[in-house]
Chain A
Amino acid sequence: MRLNPRISQKIAKTVIWFAAIVVLVLLFSIIIYILSKGIPNITWQFLTEIPSDMGRSGGILSCIVGTLSVTLVATVVATPLGVGTAFYLTEYTHESIVTKIIRFSAESLAGIPSIVYGLFGFIFFVIYLKLGWSILSGGLTLAMMILPTIIRTSEEAIHTVHPMYREVSFSLGGTKWQTMIKILIPSALPGIATGIILGIGRCVAETAAVILTAGSALQMPVSIFSPARTMAVHFYILARESISLEKAFATAALLIILILIINIGANILVNRFVAKSH
């Protein structure tokens, strides 16, 4: 028996709305749960002290520093490579087998599991290049991980620049380089920045790749050759080894707040970019 189209329409619509509501409720329940359990435990001391007794007491200052420094290294390395690749693909070449290979590589990199990045970073940076467990090893591994994100978003951003701008700049005696510096980069900047911010978000949230490359030392790192424990790694260890639920919640809440800020920042940039390009 076939259902009456009007009834099937009603059922489908209900199911679809229900699914969307389930997803939203799920998301907000996770976030609100972590925040409500964690925020009360975020104290001034928590933010400014180094962990002691394996993280049972003290704060997470060294982990905050670890997260920031690993992320900084990754961003500083991946940004020029990613943006440069995007400019090569859009401005310096025509579609060819070479661009296909480059795009295929970037898309494949995007799919590689973070644990495999961790394995690679461990054997290549930590062992082979003798960088040891360090901020540098962790940052370089993460740089490879966020490279595809930056390439893709930058390429999209450059594509949205009005094609006549290039022509006008060339017609006024501008060279390719001048056109890039004065027209393309400023116009595509919010889009490029969005890609970088998304990359930063991934670095902050990453655990598997960092734990194998930056290590899990609790001491305050003193240089990029020091090992470091990031907040995500710290949270993982606290929670998995049941060291301190209280501190685990506080760390998770801080991570979520950071991710929220990063996401809101990216969205503001996207909206500004969309408003500008119309």
Chain B
Amino acid sequence: MHLLSRGRARARELWERAVTGLYSMPWVMQLWARWAVQRSQRLDASAAIPFVPFSGPLAQARAALVTTAGIHLPHQPPFDMDDPEGDASYREIPGDVDLRTVVITHKYYDHRDADADPNIVFPLDHFRDLARQGVIGAVNHRHFSFMGHIEGPHLERLIQETGPEVAAKLRADRVDFAFLTPA
């Protein structure tokens, strides 16, 4: 019995690796994007896209990062990988975090490169450097991390609850612009 379940876990691991390997190919990713558009019920092409112009100067602007790459601190609860419809929750990443200590919980993409250098999905080191150089004014004292694979009822929670919650926190922090990165 034990052997059987171990075999199953191994098979699942191999399957997941094969799938994330496929999505590592840009053209597969674009096909997936097209398919995701076709099957989504939530997309309303006529809905107006919100827009506020950026008012400078950039050199005085406070920036915050928001990612859907599934990054979190080791002591924070990992994102829920058992629910096939994802997890709409988020984690606050402190601005002074050492990127070498963050972990990624996200089985829907191959994050070995991001584990080696989190800046490819969460470019905090670069933003700190831009603030030091005076290109931007400051980096916010906190950033926000989601996981990108969100479907079904969790999508509703993202739209109604957790997305607006993060937006309100950014406004409370007087953030001048947000930089968003996918996985």
**A in complex with B:** no
A residues sitting closer than 8 Å to B (CB atoms) are none
B residues sitting closer than 8 Å to A (CB atoms) are none
